[in-house]
Chain A
């Protein structure tokens, strides 16, 4: 057995007898079970790559903390004093904290697609597409990696909330539930971002679209004011905005203690993830054309 040969099982010395047999083994289609196992393995490895990058350069975490801190400290404190927005029995700062968490995970995720444009220009993507592994697993793996990365965003907001003395419900279920909501929402927004990247292909166009999207996604949502105070047209926009469902869940877990529409919220977010993933997986290869 020549196990150290780079032609592997098809070693040169006994090639004539074995080549046919080995090619036949390669030609055997994988069973459904093997396909699933391979897919899941590749998804996890692709997500791991994203996390390894973060480990080597954690400065990104600090810079990401700046924007939500400014929103809470400046905007939040100022509007708390104005009492301009009716938030019932909770303070405005408490009301907006889950909204700022949702906003910051959306801001971070919506530009995630830039990384696949960069990888395409650098030839990294092509290299992975030529490996004998299922291509769709890259989309799922990257979505998962981006989602896990944005968990740090939740940790940042929790720390800020403690520092600012925001009255959140610090229950175990509330924390676990909100982390899960962050995972699902971030995988939706990062997959949406990848989908945009696949379609527009250049970073200039991508940045333009990203900037155009973030503001309406944020302001046409219940992140910093309740749906009740909105004019009808804006409320309709907010109700088809996945960010509103994210905020609803987070506010339920962290402020109210329960979310009356939790089932609807989860349903909308999960459906959004599945649709975005399916579209991105189907179009992924076209980014190298």
Chain B
């Protein structure tokens, strides 16, 4: 089986700062892959390069066998992206949020309506379709954002911290939606998170990032087993491979942004 995403020796520097430091990994089709690590580990930068938002300093990225830098427009057709922050437009209704994306994508009217209502149904948002997004709960907003990202039926869905700032029920509803997409539609998932227990429960494989490098990669069970300690968690794996606890890392600016975001999700 050919991998869906291949990353080879990828580097991103911002001035003197090395945000992503020679990382290599690949993700199989239909897999749920978790990119773990504290704030500032380089997860978001890696994703921003994969989704064609910023160019890498050096290294290779291929999606479905295509070079990301050379085929940006095709790559954007193949992937859906859900950003870390609250990106649905709160001044529009849920339906309108989907409508404007569908119109941008240029589907004929009938197909457009069909796709929008399929997505609303799939993500359990049909009832709230015509309410303004500012009346939605955090989990509903997140599901709507996932809906916007899958209208063009991408083969890969890339989500940056999809459950950040959500309560446990909402977090479960988001993961259930993602599981459904993977099982029914065979979408490949690339998810960043710093919630280790979520990665453990929902990802087939994970890579632990720290200071721009991949410190460990593999199936959660195998990583935990490698510690040779009964009851070990992914968090223990993290501590053991990086010598850090999750608490370290993350600049003041990132923490402030994170808190603001959490506040808005309410």
Contacts and interface: CB of A to CB of B under 8 A. Distances in A.
Contact of B87 (A19, A126, A289): A126
Given A7-B186, A52-B96, A133 B104 contact: yes
Interface string A5-27: 11110101000000100010011
Q: How large is the interface on B (under 10, 10 to 19, 20 to 34, 35 or more residues)?
A: 35 or more
Given A6-B150, A132-B76, A45 B104 contact: yes
Interface in B181-227: 181, 184-187
A55 to B, nearest CB: 9
A53 B133 CA distance: 12
Contact of A53 (B51, B65, B92): B92
A9 to B, nearest CB: 8
A52 B92 contact: yes
B83 A123 contact: yes
Contacts of A41: 103-104, 106
A259 B66 CA distance: 58
Contact of A6 (B132, B148, B185): B185
B64 A23 contact: yes
The A interface is mostly helix, strand or loop, or mixed, namely: helix
Interface in B28-49: 48
Given A6-B153, A7-B186, A7-B187, A130 B86 contact: no
B148 A132 contact: no
B153 A5 contact: yes
Given A23-B66, A45-B103, A53-B92, A122 B87 contact: yes
A122 B148 CA distance: 15
Contacts of B51: 130
Given A41-B106, A123-B83, A129-B53, A7 B185 contact: yes
Contacts of B172: none
A56 B155 contact: no
A122 B66 contact: no
B91 A53 contact: yes
Contact of A7 (B73, B81, B155): B155
A12 B186 contact: yes
Contacts of B73: 132
Nearest to B160: A123
Contacts of B100: 45, 48-49, 52
A179 to B, nearest CB: 26
Interface in B53-103: 53-54, 64-66, 71, 73-74, 76-79, 81-87, 89, 91-92, 96, 100-101, 103
A138 to B, nearest CB: 9
B52 interface: yes
B143 interface: no
A56 B76 contact: no
A83 interface: no
Contacts of A49: 89, 92, 100
Contacts of A23: 64-66, 74
27 contacts: A7-B153, A7-B155, A8-B152, A8-B153, A12-B186, A23-B74, A26-B74, A38-B106, A49-B100, A52-B100, A53-B89, A53-B91, A53-B92, A57-B91, A122-B85, A123-B84, A123-B87, A126-B53, A126-B83, A128-B104, A130-B51, A130-B53, A130-B76, A130-B81, A132-B76, A133-B104, A289-B54
The 10 closest A-B pairs by CB, nearest first: A6-B185, A8-B153, A123-B85, A123-B83, A123-B87, A132-B76, A132-B77, A45-B103, A130-B81, A6-B153
